[in-house]
Amino acid sequence: MKKTFQKTLIAAAAGVALMSAVGTASANSLLFPYFTTATGAQSVLSLSNAGVSVAAATNAIHYVYNYGSACTHYDASGSLTANDILTHSIAATTAGGFGKAVGTDTSTPVYFPLSGQTGFLVVSTKTTATTDGLRGSMAIVDPATGLVVSYAGIDNALDTSVAANEGNYATNTDLNFVLTTLPSALVTTSWYGVVVGDMSPDITAGRDWKAGANFNNNGFVYNNDEVAYSGTVSKVITCAGSITSADLMTGAQAAAVGTNGGLIKTTATAVAPTAPSTGTTTGVVLMKMQTVQAAAGAPFAGKQFLHREQEAK
């Protein structure tokens, strides 16, 4: 039974990965803002190397994982050749992963060696001078939460054979977001935010990325009928972390808004990095996670949805 379940889970994750291959992002650094190695879950990375200037020789692919509550840095290098594709589990086989989707694939992935972790990943080409060599997507299946999702890696469109461009997302200036929630009896909502900027100095030095962002509610929150309640609350995340609507409300605001859902217009401001990190915050990649409760009924009950929030202009 266990082997059958594992095969079903791997097939589901691989299927999502194949569907997400259409229209994936392209760049020399790709940011994947969420992965999980929770027990029973599979996060699956699909990469291709299709840059027009890519030589036939093997190209180094640098993986930088940032994981856990401390956003710990872990990196190593794999490889792809020209016009090559690679699909593999994020988790190593010793941590619950299945390895490569095609066992005979001669490409070299970099697995994450720990189970029970969440975080984000930056993958970059390091050998060939191109801004269009690496493409990729992430697929995640987690039976425990009901999450089935795929998304394209976020493109920095820079030549990362130049060290100063690897993980450089300083052009992302998304700092304003409108956060909405549904009735809590039906859906529980949280957000996973990744602080971005020029990560290249910390990546080059092998340091933890410790830039921060301070989210505030701009002095008001709104209930589901647009009634405003005043009060100022903020929450800081460093590198990456979770936010709930309760984090951005006073106790009185939360009681006034109630359980029918609401709206918060939040602005994030840069927080100085924790030494020895030298990163400067320019923006945030914010992923919304909604878990449907049993009260919602079929077919949605027990499912989890994830998407990227767009900046409020």
What CATH number corresponds to the domain at position 103? 2.60.290.11
| Domain identity same for 199 and 266 | yes
Gap between the Cα atoms of 265 and 284, Å rounded = 15
Q: What is the pLDDT of residues 111-123, one digit of tens each?
A: 999 999 999 999 9
**Does the pLDDT at position 142 exceed 60?**
yes
Assess contact for 277 and 121: CB atoms under 8 A: no
Which run of H or of E encompasses 31? Answer: strand 29-36
Single-letter amino acid code for the residue at 209: W
262 vs 23 pLDDT, higher one: 262
| Mean pLDDT across the chain | 90
Residue 313 lies in a domain: no
| Domain identity same for 202 and 119 | no
Count: domains in the chain? 2
**Does the pLDDT at position 50 exceed 60?**
yes
In this prediction, residues 92-108 reach a mean pLDDT of 96
Assess contact for 285 and 172: CB atoms under 8 A: yes
User: Where in the sequence is the domain holding 108, given as residue range(s)?
Assistant: 2-165
| Domain identity same for 20 and 157 | yes
Nearest to 115 by CA among 137, 93, 99, 100: 93
CA distances to 9, 205, 221, 228, 258 from 225, in Å: 42, 50, 11, 9, 11
| Domain identity same for 104 and 131 | yes
Among residues 142, 165, 188, which one ends one of the domains?
165
| Domain identity same for 203 and 119 | no
Beta bridge partners of 77: 62
Give yes or no for a cis peptide into 109 (omega within 30° of 0): no
For the entire predicted model, the pTM comes to 0.90
| Domain identity same for 158 and 263 | no
20 falls in which pLDDT band (50, 70, 90)? very low
| Domain identity same for 144 and 249 | no
57 falls in which pLDDT band (50, 70, 90)? low
The predicted pLDDT at position 31 comes to 98
Among residues 165, 199, 232, which one ends one of the domains?
165
**Does the pLDDT at position 110 exceed 90?**
yes
Beta bridge partners of 302: none
The single residue listed with the structure tokens 């049993």 is: 294
Q: What is the pLDDT of residues 191-220, one digit of tens each?
A: 999 999 999 999 999 999 999 999 999 999
